[in-house]
């Protein structure tokens, strides 16, 4: 990139600090909220567009003047007199044409491309991604990741191209038409009448077709997002597709989506064809009307050949521009539909937000207290129903219960993935709803049963727990969970080895046990005062589990621990075991005390096969 253009680009900062709010869900307010930091560059680009239009119409006006001069000199004095009388003027105009005109056009395009275009793309992508990344976990669970990403990817260039088209096309076109009216009006006001009539007809066509084209473009954009979502869903779950031999089924689903998009695109293209024909027809009427009027006025001696020449050049130029303007306009309609569809995702308010002036969580001890906790996900029944539970600092508590008993709900509310409907959760006396989400989650280390890794290197995945950790600390964390040795033997398709090897999307290049150990190493490195384990060793074989259980015992020292388990042997040594049933605490106590009680836990223990609590454990 040339230094001059780089400096021009850097006159605007797309990452400038701003008050993060939910983007508006209407087209023009959305556009303004996204592009407001670029209002001065856009005004400059628009102003330069007006200057270019003035220069272009002035050239045509001067061409008409030149025709009149030639006609007059040729008839009266001869060609030599032209250079004698007008030589300096002609030389000056020629100098302007080869200097001012290219400089103006170059400045306009550089401002549009580098200052507005490049920064608009970065600006929209940054702000849209920042807002969507702040959504709750349920937001992503309720939609296709591919469709969410597609909307952000599509919306950024749509906003940029809309601004580009409006500044380069619409502003220039309007300025050119006004200039043409002034030039023709100066020669003879009657020459401007055909252009005025054409403008009225043109505006009427747009008024009729614009809403329909905008709606059709939005529907096409929805179809593209739906198709992308289905394709990405199949690719993301390719192992399941192959395992069940459902390649044909996925092709059928994709074909349905492609056919639906074909229908939507067909409606949009039909409207564009109608618009093309309408504009071509009106353009022909403009040429005949304007040139016919100019020739008629010349024939009765009320205008000059220069005026006829200028009128001819202007209307022919306008007619040629109509194809370009039609393309710009149709693109604006398409982009408007894409933006409207993108706003469905980008302009959705955050479900989970920090309260104003939320404080940072300070956790000197690590006590967890659930008080009167009720959460039914907006339903009349189900969920948690009156949980009162206190975990003392450093206490290790196991959570047991059938599927749907409320174990995961309790953890999700602790992490504030959902807001509590009734009651509250206190950490060292601080309500989790009143502290910042980041400080809350920084204080909690969690390993889930379905471990997902980022499609990055092993190093980056482990350092996600504490990015400022040293290489030695990272290696020590991996060694504590028996991961260091197998990591050194990894190699990816690009030849990267060891900690530099990439793990694939969601860690698919690794076995389940390898993924789990890297996830454990990440939590070890994080070293948070509260530790949540959701079947943390379920993906490991018995030998690996035995080795890691010893490391886990060391990891849990001095931390408040919540361990969810179906394999009851993994939590038998916990300080306390809490049994949940139908969203309530049914029993709690040590392993031995609960067995002696002969209740639900004792039944689970008796029925387990190999120490695993089955999904079909029946109620007493």
Determine the Cα–Cα distance for residues 459 and 311; give it in Å rounded to an integer: 70
Mark 350-381 as b/e (b = at least 16 C-beta within 10 Å): eebebeeebeebebeebbbbbeebebeeeeee
Determine the Cα–Cα distance for residues 263 and 272; give it in Å rounded to an integer: 14
Q: In what order do the strands lie in the sheet with 430-431?
A: 384-391, 368-375, 422-427, 430-431
pLDDT tens, residue by residue, 96-138:
888 988 998 888 888 888 888 888 888 998 899 989 988 888 8
User: What is each CA distance from 243 to 57, 229, 237, 240, 246, in whole angstroms?
Assistant: 68, 21, 10, 5, 8
Q: What is the pLDDT of residue 151?
A: 83
Determine the Cα–Cα distance for residues 476 and 470; give it in Å rounded to an integer: 10
Q: What is the pLDDT of residue 75?
A: 53
Q: What is the pLDDT of residue 610?
A: 44
- Give me 450's structure tokens: 């379905």
Q: Low-confidence residues of the chain, pLDDT below 70?
A: 1-2, 73-82, 323, 378-382, 506, 536-548, 551, 609-620
- Give me 208's structure tokens: 């009729």
- HSE-up of residue 128 (Cα within 13 Å, Cβ side): 30
Domains recognised in the chain with CATH numbers: 9-346 (1.20.1560.10), 359-443+528-620 (3.40.50.300), 453-524 (3.40.50.300)
* Number of neighbouring beta carbons within 10 Å of residue 562: 25
Characterize the bridge pairing of strands 444-447 and 530-534: parallel
The DSSP output letter for 405 is S
Determine the Cα–Cα distance for residues 441 and 426; give it in Å rounded to an integer: 14
Q: Determine which helix (DSSP H) or strand (DSSP E) holds 577, and give its type and residue range.
A: strand 576-581
Three-state SS for 534? strand
Does the pTM surpass 0.85? The reply is no
The DSSP output letter for 450 is S
């Amino acid at each position: 990139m040339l230094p001059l253009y780089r400096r021009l680009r850097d006159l605007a900062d797309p990452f400038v600090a701003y008050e993060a709010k939910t983007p508006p869900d209407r087209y023009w307010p959305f556009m303004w909220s996204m592009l407001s930091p670029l209002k001065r560059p856009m005004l400059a680009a628009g102003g330069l567009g007006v200057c270019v239009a003035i220069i272009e119409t002035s050239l045509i006006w001067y061409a008409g003047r030149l025709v009149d001069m030639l006609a007059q000199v040729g008839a009266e004095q001869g060609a030599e007199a032209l250079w004698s009388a007008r030589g300096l003027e002609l030389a000056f105009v020629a100098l302007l044409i080869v200097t001012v005109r290219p400089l103006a056009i170059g400045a306009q395009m550089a401002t549009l491309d580098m200052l507005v275009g490049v920064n608009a793309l970065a600006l929209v992508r940054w702000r849209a991604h920042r807002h969507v990344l702040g959504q709750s976990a349920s937001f992503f669970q309720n939609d296709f990741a591919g469709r969410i990403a597609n909307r952000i990817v599509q919306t950024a260039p749509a906003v940029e191209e809309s601004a580009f088209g409006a500044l380069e096309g619409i502003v220039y076109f309007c300025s050119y038409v006004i200039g043409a009216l002034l030039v023709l009006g100066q020669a003879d006001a009657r020459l401007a009448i055909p252009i005025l009539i054409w403008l009225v007809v043109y505006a009427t066509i747009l008024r009729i077709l614009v809403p329909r084209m905008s709606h059709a473009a939005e529907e096409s954009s929805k179809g593209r997002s739906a198709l992308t979502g289905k394709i990405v869903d199949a690719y993301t779950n390719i192992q399941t597709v192959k395992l069940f031999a459902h390649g044909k089924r996925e092709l059928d689903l994709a074909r349905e989506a492609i056919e639906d998009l074909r229908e939507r695109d067909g409606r949009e293209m039909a409207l564009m064809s109608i618009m093309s024909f309408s504009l071509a027809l009106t353009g022909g009427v403009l040429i005949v009307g304007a040139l016919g009027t100019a020739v008629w006025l010349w024939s009765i001696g009320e205008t000059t050949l220069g005026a006829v020449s200028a009128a001819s050049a202007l209307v022919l130029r306008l007619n040629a521009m109509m194809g370009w303007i039609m393309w710009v306009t149709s693109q604006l309609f398409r982009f408007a539909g894409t933006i409207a569809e993108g706003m469905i995702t980008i302009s959705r308010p955050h479900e989970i937000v920090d309260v104003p002036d939320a404080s940072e969580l300070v956790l000197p001890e690590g006590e967890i207290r659930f008080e009167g906790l009720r959460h039914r996900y907006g339903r009349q029944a189900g969920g948690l129903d009156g949980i009162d539970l206190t975990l003392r600092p450093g206490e290790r508590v196991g959570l047991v219960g059938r599927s749907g008993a409320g174990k995961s709900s309790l953890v999700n509310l602790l992490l504030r993935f959902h807001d509590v409907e009734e009651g509250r959760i206190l950490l060292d006396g601080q309500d989790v709803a009143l502290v910042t989400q980041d400080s809350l989650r920084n204080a909690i280390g969690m390993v889930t049963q379905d471990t997902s890794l980022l499609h990055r290197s092993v190093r980056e995945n482990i350092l996600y727990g504490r990015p400022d950790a040293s290489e030695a600390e990272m290696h020590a964390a991996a060694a504590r969970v028996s991961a260091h040795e197998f990591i050194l033997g990894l190699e990816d398709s690009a030849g990267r080895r060891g900690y530099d090897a990439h793990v694939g999307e969601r860690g698919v290049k690794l076995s389940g046990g390898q993924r789990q150990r890297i996830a454990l190493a990440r939590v070890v490195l994080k070293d948070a005062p509260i530790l949540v384990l959701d079947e943390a060793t379920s993906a490991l074989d018995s030998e690996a589990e035995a080795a890691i259980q010893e490391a886990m015992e060391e990891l849990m020292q001095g931390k408040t621990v919540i361990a969810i388990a179906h394999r009851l042997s993994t939590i038998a040594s916990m300080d306390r075991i809490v049994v949940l049933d139908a969203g309530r605490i049914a029993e709690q106590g040590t392993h031995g005390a609960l067995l002696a009680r002969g209740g639900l836990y004792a039944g689970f223990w008796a029925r387990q096969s190999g120490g695993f609590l089955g999904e079909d454990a029946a109620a007493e």
